[in-house]
Amino acid sequence: MCNSTTGCERLSKLKKVEVLDLTWNRFNNIILPSLGTLTSLKTLILGSNRMEGCFPIQGFERLEKLDISWNIFNGSILLSLGTLTSLNTLIFSYNGMEGSFPIQELKNLKSLKFLDISGNGFNNTLSFLEFSTFKRLETLNLGGNAFTGSISEGLCGLKDLQHLDLNYNKFGGTLPQCLGNLTSLTFLDLYGNQLIGYLPSFWPPKLQSLDLRYNHLEGVFSFNYSSLEVIRLSGNKITFENGWIPSFQLRALIMQDCGLESILEFLFHHLKGRFPYWLLQNNGGLEILNLMNNSFNGQLEIGAKMLPSMTYLNLARNHFEGDILFSAGDDCKLKTLDLSHNNFSGEVPERLLSNCTSLSLLRLSHNNFHGQIALFNLTQIDDLQLNDNQFEGTLSSLHTKFSHQSYGPIVLHLSNNRLHGEIPHWMGNFTGLIYLNLRDNLFQGQISCQLLSTEIEYLDLSYNSFSGLLPSCFNGNSLRQINLQGNRFSGSIPEALLNISTLNSLDLSDNELSGTILNKSGGNLSSLFFYYEEIISVASFQIGSLNNVSLLDLSRNSFSGSIPHCLYNLSFAREGGHLYAPPFSDALFTWGIEYRGSSKTPLANTYIFQAEVDEESEFVTKYRADTYKNKALNYMSGLDLSDNNLTGEIPYELGALSHIHALNLSHNQLTGSIPTSFSNLSEIESLDLSYNILSGQIPVELIDLNFLEAFSVAHNNLSGRIPDMKRQFSTFESKSYEGNPFLCGTQVRRKCHNDNDEPSPSQMESRQEASGKWYEIDREIFFASFSVTFIIFFLSVITILYVNSYWQQRLIYHTRRYLFSCYYFLYDNLVKLFI
């Protein structure tokens, strides 16, 4: 019907069409003459096309609504649009216009009610007196430009104005007192400007949404209007009127990640207080309350009448303490309750568990709760996280029926408590159980096949007292991560366990296992840990088939023989893949809670509740045992064969592991020289070859390892000159070379005398270039390259920010945001030091 070359010839025959929407196409200006023949057309929407230049007015005199947003029109279009006197709605946002906004060219649009010029690059000083021409204006959106000037009282003459959006500009000065005279205004957004001075004494009586964030405003917050639904005042110096009790009816309140001591400090800054109970007392319709990541303190007391409509309550990561005084009514509607990461103590209130029967997610982790685990009538629970507390008892006290009609995964996270006994057989009836973490408790007994017959994907039973043989009935269809570290399992490793095709991570370390590792599959394994065992051999051809492995720890076993040459087939890289991330790290709860004006249209940004379950692996690198969690695992790779009985030379092929971060071959009986191919380990951070019988010189080529932080060849039979103290080798101390009596160099305070101690040709060349002073050359090169790079980078950033005002505003916003985050982080931690 339409195309970019012939226009809309067939469409032009529809003489009675009144509304035409051609958004999200690739039309250019060629179609406009055809559209001008539609004599009855009143609404024309051309957003998100490829139109540019001018807009022909012939034939469009009857238009009442015109939307040409997200095109490439320039400022000259305004002169022609100013002649379309029937327009009541004009939208030309995001066209990339720059320079001054010639508002006088629109002065003939007396009927204009809706004007949106947001997301352009207008940067002139704007006088709001010029808007007084538009007496009927109801919506004015100037956001996302670079307008300067002040918000003058000329704006207050727009009596019909309902929606005013001036965010992301450079307006300065004070707010006019006459804003309170805009009796129809329901939405006001002044976010991200440069406003100063005191707040007005009065505000529009119908105001529903107010956003004054990140300005320089101060004064007393004293208005008390029942229409308010959204208030955002962060990034200012606004105080609070004593004794004020708001009467507005909030529908939802989100104040997470503020790093504050109270809600009052978030909203009003520089005030302290306890939990704001007025939120619950005066807002009976409140459904969602999220105050996570603040610094509320004191005891929490919630009465039955405070939660009549609430379905979501998140008070995680605060400083609440003591017992919870919770008296939920019989009609409790809570579905999600998160009180994790506080200092709560005592037992969980019985009324909370017995009356809130709709709870599907309960998180009480990282507190000091104690007592017997006893869930009374929570028949809808899908996600239960009680980890890192002091709960006692056995799992047999968990009298609950997990709902199988739920769409979400079933998560049971009870790690780091004082639970004991055996895993009850009825847990194997949870056909939807996906995540089970009983880590660091006092459980004992064996793992039943009934439990492994479920659809479980993540199983962590580490650091308990489980014993006996490992079962041979592991389910090969769903298990992705298994952690049985730190128990008392004995016997051999069943072949069925190693043949699980879906398995990504396996940790059997620190048990009493023995025998030989045989593996016919394992191709998906990315983490494999068998340290502190009595494994005597690994089929080398099977180890070479672990194509996706990133962490391989076979240390502290009884391996003998030489290092398999096939290890070079292991990429130890994250390219093209990543460790399995539990499905619970994604959002389990997402709901848009912010509203604009009276339309109550959800904003694009939503607030996400995340189930907190960690994927973690412990690996020794840089002389310390580090625990890598979740996304950090995606950036770690390593091979540890230390503390075995390996003999022979180090395979030259290991130098092909160019993406490995840590390599530990210490405490073996390896002989021969250090392969020069190790200079190809371009991402290596930790290299430990100590306590072997290595001989020869330390390859000078290792100086090229720019990321090497930990290096040790101590207690070998190495000789000759230690590589010059260049780059990373200038950071290694004498202990990296101790126990090698024939090494010489400044690092070990032993001079080199004979010809055999002379540096290699490459070392000699480097010294000649440096005129005998390596540090002077390095220092000059460093400062010269750093200065040139910094100047180029600085000028590039300044140029980009000068040309693109939108990026300039975004930089200002994020800078302010991070400054405030750093401020409150330091404030919270310094306060703790002095309390």
- Cβ neighbours for 684, distance < 8 A, ≥ 6 positions apart: 660, 661, 662, 663, 678, 705, 707, 708
Of 139, 147, 254, nearest to 590 by C-alpha is 254
Q: How confident is the model at residue 1 (pLDDT cuts 50, 70, 90)?
A: low
Mean pLDDT value of segment 481-494: 89
Residue 613: predicted pLDDT: 52
Rounded Cα–Cα distance for residues 31 and 43 (Å): 16
Q: Quick one: DSSP state of residue 3?
A: B
| 465 contacts 440 by C-beta, under 8 angstroms | no
pLDDT digits (tens, 9 = 90+) for 779-799: 677 788 888 888 998 888 888
Tokens of 726: 């260049």
> Which of these, 337, 289, 276, 331, lies nearest to 308 by C-alpha position?
331
**Residue 729 φ then ψ, to 5°:** -70, -15
Tokens 């619950």, located at residue: 280
Q: What is the pLDDT of residue 563?
A: 87
Alpha-carbon torsion angle 172, 603, 260, 244, nearest 10: 80
Spell 22-39 as b/e; 16+ CB within 10 A means b.
beeeebbbebbebbbbbe
Q: Which amino acid is at 289?
A: L
pLDDT digits (tens, 9 = 90+) for 618-671: 666 655 555 655 455 566 788 889 988 999 999 998 888 888 889 999 999 999
Grouping H, G, I as helix, E, B as strand and the rest as coil, residue 57 is: coil
Residue 291: pLDDT band with limits 50, 70, 90: confident
Tell whether the model's pLDDT for residue 539 goes beyond 50. no
Over pLDDT 90: what percentage of the chain?
A: 30
**Helix, strand or coil, per DSSP, at residue 7:** strand
* Whether residue 757 has pLDDT greater than 70: no
623 vs 824, higher pLDDT? 824
Query: Residue 267 has what pLDDT?
Result: 36
Q: Residues 6 or more apart from 608 whose CB is under 8 A from it?
A: 587, 589, 590
- CB–CB of 328/304 below 8 Å? yes
**Dihedral of the CA atoms 612, 615, 621, 625 (nearest 10)?**
60
Model confidence at 123: pLDDT above 90: yes
- What is the predicted pLDDT for the residue at 603? 29
Q: What is the structure's pLDDT at 589?
A: 29
Q: Which one, of 407, 303, 415, lies nearest residue 364 by Cα? A: 415
| pTM for the predicted model, two decimal places | 0.59
- Report residue 346's pLDDT band, with 50, 70 and 90 as the boundaries: very high
The torsion angles phi and psi of 706, rounded to 5 degrees, stand at -75, -20
Distant-in-sequence, close-in-space partners of 758: CB < 8 Å, separation ≥ 6? 721, 752, 764
CA dist., res. 412 & res. 434, Å (int): 8
H or E element at residue 80: helix 77-81
pLDDT range class, residue 600, cuts 50, 70, 90: very low
Whether 441 and 460 have beta carbons less than 8 Å apart is answered as: no
Q: Which amino acid is at 562?
A: S
pLDDT attached to residue 260? 38
Helical segments of 256-379, H only: 263-268, 278-281, 350-355
> Whole-number mean pLDDT of the chain?
78
Cα–Cα distance for residue pair 359/380, rounded to 1 Å? 6
Task: Tell me, rounded to whole angstroms, the distance of Cα 687 from its chain centroid.
Answer: 31
> Checking phi first, is residue 760 left (phi over 0); if not, alpha (psi -120 to 50) or beta?
beta
Residues 6+ apart with CB under 8 A from 349: 324, 325, 326, 327
Q: Three-state SS across 514-536?
A: EEEECCCCCCCCCEEECCCCEEE
DSSP code of 750? B
